[in-house]
Amino acid sequence: MKLTLMAVAALALSAGAQADDTFDLGTVGGTVPIGNTVFAGSFVDTINFDLASLSTVTAIALNTSYFLDPPATTLGKISFLAASLDGVPLTLSIATTSLAPGLDVIVQKLFVNDALKVGGPHTLTIAGVADAFSSAYTGSISVTAVTSVPEPETYALMLAGLAAIGWLAKRRSA
């Protein structure tokens, strides 16, 4: 009996704790899905990825939960505490849609306000508290390669070179 009580107490103490997860995606391009199922309690997920070249990066994470009334219960909700891409905070928006009397869908969306133009290694961090036994978030990291645009000085130097070649050609023919 004492062993059963100790096991129940240990389970109750560990219920509020959440293992932090780290995901290594390697080199990414295009759109890569992200997400995790988290259990009741706080969590911090770290998603590491690399970019082969200078790219525009955007990130989005969604959590959908359901509010039932009665009994005034929310199922599957994650309270996002912090989210950042390379230390730049993500913006949180919340939208609630009523499906039927007493049943609402709550969608939380984390997103990068301004796309980052970066290359090399990066880290997306998502932290929050899950209030249900099994809550989840999904989302994606989108990567678009940035093409180089010549500076005005490049065009000026090219035109000067063409003018010099034209002048030399004219001088030779004269």
CATH of the domain at 113: 2.60.120
Range 4-30 average pLDDT? 61
Instruction: For residue 4, name the pLDDT band (cuts at 50, 70, 90).
Output: very low
The whole-model pTM stands at: 0.68
* Number of domains the chain is built from: 1
Domain that holds residue 71: 21-173
Q: Which helix (H) or strand (E) holds 90?
A: none
Residue 85 is encoded by which pair of tokens? 């891409």
Residue 1 inside a domain? The answer is no
Size of the chain, expressed as the number of residues it contains:
174
- Per DSSP, which regions of 72-171 are E strands? 73-75, 78-85, 88-89, 91-100, 103-111, 116-130, 135-145
Residue 91 inside a domain? The answer is yes
For the four alpha carbons of 20, 126, 118 and 51, in that order, the dihedral sign comes to positive
Residue 148 has what DSSP assignment? P
Quickly tell me which residue has 């994470």 as its tokens: 61
Residue 7 inside a domain? The answer is no
% of the chain at pLDDT higher than 70: 84
Residue 58 inside a domain? The answer is yes
Residue 5 inside a domain? The answer is no
The single-letter code of the amino acid at 150 is P
The predicted structure's pLDDT at residue 115: 66
Residue 145 inside a domain? The answer is yes
Residue 54 inside a domain? The answer is yes
